[in-house]
Structure 1
Amino acid sequence: MWQRSVQELLDSWKKNPDVELRLERLRLTELPGELFDLQIPIARLSFALNNLQTLPMDLADAQPGLVELELMGNDFHHNQDNSAMYSVISRFNHLEKLSVSENKLSDPDELIRTLLSMKSVTKLLAFSFPMGVHVGQCLSHISEMKQLTCLDLSVCNIHGFPSMLEKLANLTSLDLSYNRFCTVPKEIGNFKELTQLSLNGCSISYISEGLVELDKLEHLRLAFNELSSLPDNMKQMKNLRSVVLSNNNFVELPSCIFDIETKQSLLPVLESFQIQGNLLDFGDSQESLKFGIASVSATPSRLLQRPSLVIDSEEIMGDLKNPVQLHEVYLGYFNYFTSCVSRPMKVL
């Protein structure tokens, strides 16, 4: 039955050919032969969430111009030697983005060694990619991929902040979420080109002031950690557009982001600030915060066990109104059983 589904998908794609072909969640154990007969060049190809154990050598001959390859969630772990598959990958001379997420390989370091020679690869997605005893070698070799601009190593069981990655001077996006390190060292400031940094769920309790060296940072995600404060010099980070501090240990709004006396944001372009799931205490007073050109106010209820704020800007009215002016505040309490903000109340 799944083979008919593959055929139908390919037939449909050929009627309206696109630069992208997604053969996902089809329980494929091998690639359909018709894929190699296509006369249409494909730029983005996805085999995510199948049961593939290798890639055929003639795939690179069939689609030599491939720029994105998605291999997430397959069965490559059944092979003790994946060198043949790595050889196939190395033949994509124009490949820019590779995802090997949710794959357990017996020889992960050999894959990274293969990628070292592929100077076209600028985006590597390897979340939930167990490296085991090879973790040191893998990180060392990844740090030599100087052309990388995007790197996702979340959920990789990395212990300690991988400072050797600071060699990746061109990174604009880095995700190290759900690894194990309780401090973010001053070396974080060496990632000068970062615009996005995600460090969710790492048990972080301390962030060094090196963070402020990230002059270009726009999006900072620090949810599900153990933070109760932030570096005071964060107020100098004038390009921050969104900050996520959900589910930490804050009892008050960070003074490096808000001027409590004037009730104004210290970050001039801040559009989204999430701090739900913290132990915020506003008492009986009405708190009024000002974000750029929009003012928001809220009167938290004393009945809430975990008062929270979610302040966001969304395009919900199209051309009717400048979306930057659309800020909403939600109050609620964190429900441990449903892992969500219960009964949010719009107060703006």
Structure 2
Amino acid sequence: MKMDKSAGGDQQNSVLSNTLRVEEYVAEISMKQEKTVNLSHRNIKILPPVIQRLSHCKRLLLNNNDLIMPPTELISLINLQELSLDYNSLTVLPSGFGQLINLKYLSLSHNQFGFLPPEIGDLSSLEQLWIVSAQLTALPPELGLLQKLKKLGARDNHLRDLPSELGNLQQLQWLSLASNKLTHIPESFSKLRNFSYFDLSDNDLESVPLCCLKQTRLNTLVLSKNNVSCVPDDHLVGLAKLTKVDLRDNPFKDRPSHWKGLGFILLGSSTENTEDE
């Protein structure tokens, strides 16, 4: 028992020592008014209040730490343009997070969120949002308010449905929803005027989403590892505008004999070396 108490005391002292080092570093950086602050890989469990002194900071890296509590200390950093919170143990974002209206890049990947708060839609300057492997079961409709969003990465979650409001993202160019549980895509996605890359691999789709056939700028559509069993001929006109359609690892494997000049549609197995490659 004495050994356990000693070990616990050593751990507490280690955490305290680490916190002091972080506070000293932040104090030093704040005096230099550095625009980029890298606090990644520092075993930080709770952000020290001194972090609020980084009012000049535009790029803050807090990835690969042990953060569990909502980092409320970040709310006052209104000049932030880039924030990385990847690889922590966060379950919720702090109330008031939407006040960071100058954020252009936000990465929340590899956490335990489950959901995102509606005020995520207040981040009016956001251009890139990364929420990969964040244990999300749904996306908030308020994401449709992010009129400057160009890239959205939401791969490897538990999404079954998508809010139709995502069709309002007129600047969206790149979207990955791979490795989810999607069975359909809202028709509103056909309104995405600047859409060029769409990754829907490893979902539960049984057909090519009709909204993709109506896209005017879509170049790449990845539908590998779904349950697509056929592609009707009347879909080929819409697909012909694309440069790559990946349908590998679906039940639909054999190229119809009347398909001519459609080598950009990849079929079969991704592990095989085919002429399509």
**1:60-71 equivalent positions in 2, closer than 5 A:** 60=29, 64-71=32-39
User: Is 1:95 matched with 2:57?
Assistant: yes
Change (3 A) 1:61 1:142: closer
CA contact under 8 A between 1:230 and 1:254: conserved in structure 2?
A: yes
Q: Distance in 2 between matches of 1:248 and 1:275?
A: 8
Matched, 1:125 2:84: yes
Q: How many residues align?
A: 246
Structure 1 residue 247: Cα displacement: 0.2
Corresponding position of 2:204: 249
Shift of residue 118, structure 1, vs aligned partner: 2.3
Cα contact 1:72–1:101 (8 A) shared by 2: yes
Contact 1:68 1:97 in 2 (8 A): yes
Over aligned residue pairs, what C-alpha RMSD do you find?
3.2
Greater helix content? 2
Please report how far the alpha carbon of residue 246 of structure 1 lies from its aligned counterpart in structure 2 after TM superposition: 0.7
Cα separation, 2, equivalents of 1:61 and 1:99: 15
Residues 149 and 172 in structure 1, CA contact (< 8 A), matched pair in contact too: yes
CA contact (8 A) 1:222 1:245 kept: yes
DSSP-derived class of the 1:256 partner: helix
Q: Which residue of 1 aligns with 2:15?
A: none
Assess if the C-alpha contact under 8 Å between 2:47 and 2:73 holds in 1.
no
Structure having greater relative contact order (Cα 8 Å, sep ≥ 6)? 2
User: C-alpha separation between the residues in 2 aligned to 1:170 and 1:82?
Assistant: 25
Q: Summarize the Cα distance change of 1:344–1:157 in structure 2 as closer, same or farther, 3 Å threshold.
A: farther
Q: Which has the higher strand share?
A: 1
Q: In 1, distance between residues paired with 2:140 and 2:54?
A: 37
Pick which of 198-207 and 139-148 moved more: 139-148
SS at match of 2:112: coil
Deviation at 1:61, TM superposition (A): 6.7
Mapped contact 1:201–1:223 kept (Cα < 8 A)? yes
Check 1:67–1:297 CA distance in 2 against 1; reply closer, same or farther (3 A cut).
closer
Q: Is the contact made by 1:161 and 1:185 (CA closer than 8 Å) also made in structure 2?
A: yes
Structure 1 runs of 4+ with >6 Å offset: none
Q: What pairs with 1:1-348 in structure 2 (closer than 5 Å)? A: 54-55=21-22, 56-57=24-25, 59-60=28-29, 64-77=32-45, 83=48, 86-87=49-50, 89-105=51-67, 108-109=69-70, 112-132=71-91, 135=92, 138-258=93-213, 266-282=214-230, 288=236, 289-291=239-241, 306-307=251-252, 328-333=264-269, 341-347=270-276
1:85-138 CA-to-partner distances (Å, cap 9, x unmatched) read x52x444453211111121136x44xx333222222111111222235xx2xx3
- Output the CA distance in 1 between the equivalents of 2:204 and 2:211: 16
Counterpart-to-counterpart distance in 2, 1:116 and 1:184: 22
Normalising by the residue count of structure 1, what TM-score does the alignment of the two structures yield? 0.61
Gaps of 5+ in 1: 1-51, 259-265, 309-326, 334-340
Alpha-carbon offset, residue 229 of structure 1: 1.1
Q: Is the 8 A contact 2:114 2:136 kept in 1?
A: yes
